[in-house]
């Protein structure tokens, strides 16, 4: 397995779960997504990264 093909974890070391959303305030993943990251296929990881982008846009307020 090639290291350059590994998809980087979205973790940014701001690990705090939001009680209202159930999402990490740093990476916008659920606990199950965080725990399962290394067992996911690369396709599933890519799909999750796209989902995380959408979640972040929904959570961030520019007011």
In the beta sheet, which residues pair with residue 24?
Answer: 17
Q: Give me the number of domains the chain comprises.
A: 1
Judge whether 7 lies within some domain. no
Judge whether 17 lies within some domain. no
Residue 33: count other Cβ atoms within 10 Å of its Cβ: 19
Judge whether 38 lies within some domain. yes
Range of the domain at 38: 31-58
Instruction: Give the pLDDT band of residue 1 (cuts 50, 70, 90).
Output: very low
Judge whether 18 lies within some domain. no
Per-residue model confidence as pLDDT tens digits over 13-40: 999 999 999 999 999 999 999 999 999 9
Judge whether 45 lies within some domain. yes
């Amino acid at each position: 397995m090639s290291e350059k093909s590994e998809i980087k974890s979205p973790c940014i070391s701001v690990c705090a779960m939001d009680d209202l959303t159930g999402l990490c305030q740093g990476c916008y993943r659920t606990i199950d997504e965080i725990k399962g990251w290394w067992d996911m296929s690369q396709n599933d990881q890519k799909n999750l990264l796209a989902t995380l982008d959408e979640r972040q846009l929904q959570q961030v307020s520019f007011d």
